[in-house]
Chains A and B, each alone.
Chain A
Amino acid sequence: MTFIKTKLPVVVTFVGAFIIIAQYYFDIPAWKTLAAELLRWNVILAAFALALGIGGIVKLHWGRIARRAPTALYSAATLITLAFFLAIGLAQTTRGESYRWLYDYIYLPVAATSYATTFFFITSAAYRAFRIKNSYAAVLMVSAVLMMLQIGIFAAFLPIAPRIAAWVWNIPTSAGMRAVVIGGALSLVGNSFRVIVGLERGHLGGGE
Chain B
Amino acid sequence: MALIRKLSNIDVRILYLIMVVAAIYPLLRPIGLPLPISDRARDAYAAIEALQPGDLVFFGIDYSPTQEAEMWPQTLAVGHHLARRGVRIVMLNMIEGAFRYEERMRDIILAEYPEYKYGENIIALPFTAGREAAFQSVVADFKGLYTYDLAGNPVGSLPLWNEIRGASDFKMYVELADAPDWWLRPMSQVPGLQLWNGTVASGASTMAPLYQSGQMIGFIIGMVGAAEYEFLVGKPGMAAAAMDTQSMGHVLIILFVVLGNIGYQAIKADESRAKAKRAARGDV
A and B touch in the complex (CB under 8 A): yes
Which residues on A are within 8 Å of B, measured CB to CB? Answer: 20, 23-24, 32, 35-36, 39-40, 42-47, 49-50, 93-95, 100, 103-104, 107-108, 111-112, 114-116, 119-120, 122-124, 126-128, 130-132, 141, 144-145, 148-156, 162, 166, 169-170, 173-174, 177-178, 181
Complex CA gap A120/B65 in Å reads 19
Complex CA gap A100/B252 in Å reads 38
Query: Is there an interface contact between A36 and B251, defined as CB atoms closer than 8 Å?
Result: no
Query: Other than the known A152-B35, A153-B250, what 19 A-B pairs have Cβ atoms closer than 8 Å?
Result: A40-B145, A43-B129, A46-B130, A47-B129, A111-B68, A123-B15, A123-B16, A123-B256, A127-B10, A127-B12, A127-B257, A145-B254, A148-B254, A155-B35, A155-B36, A166-B39, A173-B208, A174-B205, A177-B205
What are some 18 contacts across the A-B interface (CB < 8 A)?
A35-B140, A39-B136, A43-B128, A43-B134, A43-B137, A44-B129, A100-B100, A119-B249, A122-B253, A123-B256, A124-B12, A124-B16, A127-B257, A128-B260, A148-B253, A152-B33, A170-B212, A177-B205
Shortest beta-carbon distance, A94 to chain B, in Å? 6
Given A127-B256, A173-B208: A36 in contact with B141 (beta carbons within 8 A): yes
Q: Which residues of A contact B264 (CB under 8 A)?
A: 131-132
Query: Is there an interface contact between B244 and A36, defined as CB atoms closer than 8 Å?
Result: no
Which of B12, B36, B69, B131 has a CB less than 8 Å from the CB of A162?
A: B36
Complex CA gap A156/B35 in Å reads 8
Query: Is there an interface contact between B137 and A112, defined as CB atoms closer than 8 Å?
Result: no
Given A115-B66, A151-B243, A152-B247: A43 in contact with B257 (beta carbons within 8 A): no
Given A152-B35, A162-B38, A169-B204: A127 in contact with B100 (beta carbons within 8 A): no
Query: Is there an interface contact between A166 and B38, defined as CB atoms closer than 8 Å?
Result: yes
Which residues of B from 242 to 280 have beta carbons under 8 Å from A? 243-244, 246-254, 256-257, 259-261, 264-265
Which of A95, A131, A141, A177 has a CB less than 8 Å from the CB of B209?
A: A177
Query: Is there an interface contact between A127 and B15, defined as CB atoms closer than 8 Å?
Result: yes
Q: Which residues of A contact B252 (CB under 8 A)?
A: 123
Which of A93, A108, A152 has a CB less than 8 Å from the CB of B100?
A: A108
Smallest CB gap from A145: residue in B:
B254
Complex CA gap A154/B208 in Å reads 23
Complex CA gap A46/B230 in Å reads 36
Q: Which residues of A contact B253 (CB under 8 A)?
A: 122-123, 126, 148
Q: Which residues of A contact B36 (CB under 8 A)?
A: 150-151, 155, 162
Which of A124, A130, A181 has a CB less than 8 Å from the CB of B15?
A: A124
Smallest CB gap from B138: residue in A:
A39
Q: Is B64 in contact with chain A by the CB < 8 A criterion? A: yes
Which of B100, B131, B209 has a CB less than 8 Å from the CB of A104?
A: B100
Query: Is there an interface contact between B247 and A153, defined as CB atoms closer than 8 Å?
Result: yes
Query: Is there an interface contact between A170 and B128, defined as CB atoms closer than 8 Å?
Result: no
